[in-house]
Structure 1
Amino acid sequence: MAQQVKEIMTAPPHTVSPDTSIREAAVDMRDSDIGDVVVTDGGRLVGLVTDRDIVVRCVADGADIDGTPVGEAVSGDLTTVAPDDSIDRAIQCMRDKAVRRLPVVDGERVVGVVSLGDLAVERDPSSVLSQISGSTSNT
């Protein structure tokens, strides 16, 4: 059984710059079959944008998805974990902050993302979340 975040994280993360349009970020998510992109500026972590962020913060508010930069939809003030952190620490961070994804940072560099689905696949492979997370997309 995996013990450290680096053993289950998704790497490398999909990254976009803060000036990437909402549409471009959404297309990247769709084409890569992922639910988030990491927003970086000059290699520095700015935030994370999820498919839900795009719907709730942009589409529902009538944002121009071609003219609005992803930097305006970003979830900032992120909790991060390190590759060598324990999986238990990642689980506790997700519980404490009520988040489903954590950027994995090595020093100043974002090296991956660990998701609730990654943790489910590792810790409870028979769970519904694990089965959904481990299957191919139905879209």
Structure 2
Amino acid sequence: MPIDDLARSDVVTASPETPVTDLAVTMAEENVGSVVITNGDTPVGIVTDRDLTVRTLADGADPTAQTASDVMSSDLCTAERDAGFYAATSSMAEHGVRRLPVCENETLVGIITSDDLMELLADEQQ
């Protein structure tokens, strides 16, 4: 099964210049745990709720002085939209990530999360 069948197309995105405080508000408003950071339609990083905690609060940094580029994970792991379920889960496990942006020719088209995969597995068990 291609992950494109499982991925959500309504990805929450922001630019690298977005203030960290705006990212936190967006996550709360959209009820998501991450924001994919893009340059145009190309993903260049991701900021998770954990990144905000560890790279801002735990470091004692001033969140009003930081932007997405200051706290994002830039070694972004992505998958092509025609990748299979096994390839996606293997990649997530290998890289220790819970969110996998889905691309087509380097353009962001969706995202799949470990929660999405768990839901699929639960449905399959029933």
Of Structure 1 and Structure 2, which has the larger fraction of its residues in helix? 2
One-letter code aligned to 1:114: I
Match of 2:87 in 1: 89
One-letter code aligned to 1:86: G
Match of 2:27 in 1: 29
Measure, in 2, the Cα distance between the counterparts of 1:90 and 1:66.
35
Structure 1 gap segments, 5+ residues each: 128-139
Deviations 1:21-52 (A, max 9, x none): 11100110110000000001232221011000
TM-score by length of structure 1 reads 0.84
Deviations 1:56-80 (A, max 9, x none): 0111112221221011111111111
Q: Which stretches of structure 1, 4 residues or longer, exceed 4 Å deviation after superposition?
A: none
Match of 2:47 in 1: 49
Structure 2 gap segments, 5+ residues each: none
Q: How many residue pairs end up in the alignment?
A: 125
Match of 1:123 in 2: 121
Computed over aligned residues only, the root mean square deviation of the Cα atoms, in angstroms, reads: 1.5
One-letter code aligned to 1:113: I
Deviations 1:99-130 (A, max 9, x none): 11111011121111111000000122499xxx
One-letter code aligned to 2:88: A
